[in-house]
Structure 1
Amino acid sequence: MKALIRADAAIEIGMGHRVRCQALASAFERLGWTCQFVVHHRYRQFASDHDLLIDCEEDLLSLAEQADLVILDHYGYQADNIARLFQVQPNLLVVDDMNDRGIFPAKWLVNPLNQVYSSQVAMPLTGGQYALLRSSFSQHYSESITPDRLLLTLGGTDPLALTLPLLKALEKTGFSLDKVQVMLGKNARNSAEVLAYCEEKHIAWRQGVSDVTPLMRQARMAISAAGGTLFELACMGVPTVFAQVAENQTRSLEQHVPMTWCDAVRFDDVSEKQQVERIEHLIRLVMIYWQDDTWLTKARKIARSLVDGKGADRVAKTVHQEFSVMI
């Protein structure tokens, strides 16, 4: 059986759609499926050699008819676009975050947040148990490691180029830079400047890491963007102060911050001057939480209870079983 996955990645889009869909593709492939990404040609720089490139969304419709399943993870598709795709391929799985596209039909819908959808979605798969993480996250957390690092990671692309100003703000507080671990995506903005600063200040850094779990296991706390990494950090039990860098991260933070394992500062809706003020505010929060052992212990426990890393397998098995019934 073949699944087509419609998802793009780019500096402005980020890597989150691609990463979580790759986790889902791997889960399907373990069940014997063949999976292939469908990518718009303008984002071919972020595509692989095996992807199908399309010139317009109309091209997806003809491809969808020839597949057994279409997985759609794309904010460019509103309710009417999804409905049209569903008419062509009723075996449609939509991956969503914000639940702000109106009422649309789908056979399956995946959202790692607790959201309510219309009856036109036949099988909604919602909540943290369906967070689409890579298989490395499903391994048990090691209690033998005493985490002592502050992990700084702004996602695959760092769209607002926050890594360097955050590092400089940390240095101004007198925080021990030998406790900082920088993790950059392969396509992170201003990465050359960030790495030069890390070398100058003897800050540990890694770029383009394929398995992030070892670095997260070492983290006492994290400063992170609030995309898919939010669910990874929750799974690994890492208390975090999130930097919101995109509108689509709003719902995740609205649900997770009140659970008290994390905090957040918004950056996607402010001027350059306000950004400086919010960087200072974020670092102040980090300093407070870093020294609060009671909060850190409680936050780690809460975070781990929310996501177990097996969501991709749950989704793939649910869909696969439905196909077994149809056959």
Structure 2
Amino acid sequence: MRALLRCDATAAGGVGHLVRCLALAEAATARGWRVAVVGRVTAPLGRRLLAASGVPLLPFDGPGDVPADAHLPPSDLDPARLAALVRATRADVLHVDHYAPVVGLRAAIREAGGALSCVEDGPFGRREADVVVDPTPGAEAAGRPADGSGTVLLGVRHAPMRSAVARAHDLARPPAGRDPHVLVVLGGTDATGAAAAVVAAIARTGVRTGAVTVIVRPDHAEDVRRAGADLPLRLVGPQDDLPALAAAHDVVVTAAGTTVWELAAVGVATGAVVVAENQRIGYERAVGLGLTAGLGTPDDLAGPTAGRLATLLSDPATRGRLAAAGPRVV
């Protein structure tokens, strides 16, 4: 059996879609499937994760009528191009983890002899497919508009998880009353440059911490240093094994995307920051389920949610509740 996984991993869009696809690739290859990623993987972290996985990336220069750039609709999901890829590779399944709107993709893939599987986050990426997965918490209660899709899997229990998450769960440090060691990670690429705002907010709380490790791109590093001049900062680049690094910390302040579910499964206390509008539904549901402390947007940290951040940093009981809730739900 063969599967194509359509996703992108770029500085602007982050690596979350690729991370989910690689979790699926792990499971598929363990069951004997042949898998390839189809898309634009330009973020250095994305390239490293893909290389470590052993999953090939098409370019596809291909036989027959498949154009040389058929592996790239970089910003859309052109049904004709993707159907041509399915035919040329004899793929049984095209799996799409991408928010671009598209009409007629399921019909095109079926005509090419394949089935279409899609991941969506609430309304983002929603389209008709043979298999639909919405892994956001509470999706099973919210439901989904009928659109003719086949199997529909709703809720965080269907979130794809890499084996690295399970390994990190075994490493997670128990909650303690010491000055908390803090990790700040605003997505795989910190596309919005929000890390400096988070570090400034940590400094404003006045809470004494252990080391504050910040995952930051080189072009944002100086802003972070200025914001955290009075903190015990440690700056590192994007991490190949983020779950393991998170497990070594008492609290993680994270963007409210894919990382929230992975860290919940690891069993580490988190505070989530909304850095993109497509994260808001999952953020609100995760906060409602007690999986993370809701810190709002980077701007909110200067006012409305500053107290929540201070509590997260200063109260071991709060961190303990959050750390325990994640593995029960995810």
Shorter chain as denominator, the TM-score bin is 0.7 to 0.9
Shift of 1:5: 1.0
Which residue in 2 is equivalent to 1:18?
Answer: 18
Which residue in 2 is equivalent to 1:30?
Answer: 30
Supply the AA of the counterpart residue of 2:253.
I
Correspondence for 1:301 among 308, 311, 324: 324
Correspondence for 1:76 among 95, 100, 104: 100
1:27-80 Cα distance to aligned partner (Å, 9 max, x none): 211222221111159x59866684224354332210112212111111114354
SS in 2 for 1:240: strand
Change in Cα spacing, 1:87 to 1:229, as seen in structure 2 (3 Å) is same
Change in Cα spacing, 1:157 to 1:102, as seen in structure 2 (3 Å) is closer
Which residue in 2 is equivalent to 1:313?
Answer: none
SS in 2 for 1:219: coil
SS in 2 for 1:287: helix
Please say if residues 106 and 116 of structure 2, whose CA atoms lie closer than 8 Å, have aligned partners that are also in contact. no
Change in Cα spacing, 1:220 to 1:79, as seen in structure 2 (3 Å) is farther
Supply the AA of the counterpart residue of 1:122.
G
Supply the AA of the counterpart residue of 1:233.
L
In structure 2, how many angstroms separate the alpha carbons of the residues matched to 1:73 and 1:223?
25
List gaps (5 residues or longer) in structure 1: 268-274, 308-327
Higher strand share: 1
SS in 2 for 1:178: coil
Correspondence for 2:58 among 44, 52, 55: 52
SS in 2 for 1:295: helix
Correspondence for 2:185 among 147, 153, 176: 153
Which residue in 1 is equivalent to 2:158?
Answer: 130
* 1:65-144 map, 5 Å: 65=87, 66-99=90-123, 104=128, 106-113=129-136, 114-115=139-140, 116-117=143-144, 118=146, 120-139=148-167, 140-142=169-171
Correspondence for 1:164 among 196, 199, 210: 196
1:203-237 Cα distance to aligned partner (Å, 9 max, x none): 12332321122322233222110110010111122
Root-mean-square deviation (Å): 3.0
Supply the AA of the counterpart residue of 2:93.
L
Please say if residues 161 and 190 of structure 1, whose CA atoms lie closer than 8 Å, have aligned partners that are also in contact. no
SS in 2 for 1:251: helix
Change in Cα spacing, 1:261 to 1:55, as seen in structure 2 (3 Å) is closer
TM-score w.r.t. the length of structure 1 is 0.78
Supply the AA of the counterpart residue of 1:223.
V
Shift of 1:263: 2.9
Aligned length: 295
Please say if residues 4 and 69 of structure 1, whose CA atoms lie closer than 8 Å, have aligned partners that are also in contact. yes
TM-score w.r.t. the length of structure 2 is 0.77
Shift of 1:181: 2.0
In structure 1, how many angstroms separate the alpha carbons of the residues matched to 2:322 and 2:223?
29
1:133-165 Cα distance to aligned partner (Å, 9 max, x none): 210212453476456322211011112201123
Please say if residues 98 and 125 of structure 2, whose CA atoms lie closer than 8 Å, have aligned partners that are also in contact. no
Correspondence for 1:262 among 288, 292, 308: 292
Please say if residues 198 and 301 of structure 2, whose CA atoms lie closer than 8 Å, have aligned partners that are also in contact. no
Supply the AA of the counterpart residue of 2:27.
A
SS in 2 for 1:190: helix
Change in Cα spacing, 1:249 to 1:189, as seen in structure 2 (3 Å) is farther
1:270-292 Cα distance to aligned partner (Å, 9 max, x none): xxxxx545444444321123233
Please say if residues 130 and 151 of structure 2, whose CA atoms lie closer than 8 Å, have aligned partners that are also in contact. yes
Higher helix share: 1
Which residue in 1 is equivalent to 2:262?
Answer: 232
Supply the AA of the counterpart residue of 1:251.
I
1:276-313 Cα distance to aligned partner (Å, 9 max, x none): 45444444321123233333222222222111xxxxxx
SS in 1 for 2:262: helix
Correspondence for 1:206 among 236, 239, 258: 236
Change in Cα spacing, 1:279 to 1:161, as seen in structure 2 (3 Å) is farther
In structure 1, how many angstroms separate the alpha carbons of the residues matched to 2:309 and 2:134?
29
In structure 1, how many angstroms separate the alpha carbons of the residues matched to 2:193 and 2:43?
22
List gaps (5 residues or longer) in structure 2: 60-70
Change in Cα spacing, 1:129 to 1:189, as seen in structure 2 (3 Å) is farther
Change in Cα spacing, 1:89 to 1:239, as seen in structure 2 (3 Å) is farther
SS in 1 for 2:245: helix
Change in Cα spacing, 1:170 to 1:119, as seen in structure 2 (3 Å) is closer
Please say if residues 68 and 91 of structure 1, whose CA atoms lie closer than 8 Å, have aligned partners that are also in contact. yes
Supply the AA of the counterpart residue of 2:134.
N
In structure 2, how many angstroms separate the alpha carbons of the residues matched to 1:30 and 1:132?
14
Please say if residues 103 and 120 of structure 1, whose CA atoms lie closer than 8 Å, have aligned partners that are also in contact. no
Higher relative contact order (CA 8 A, sep 6+): 1
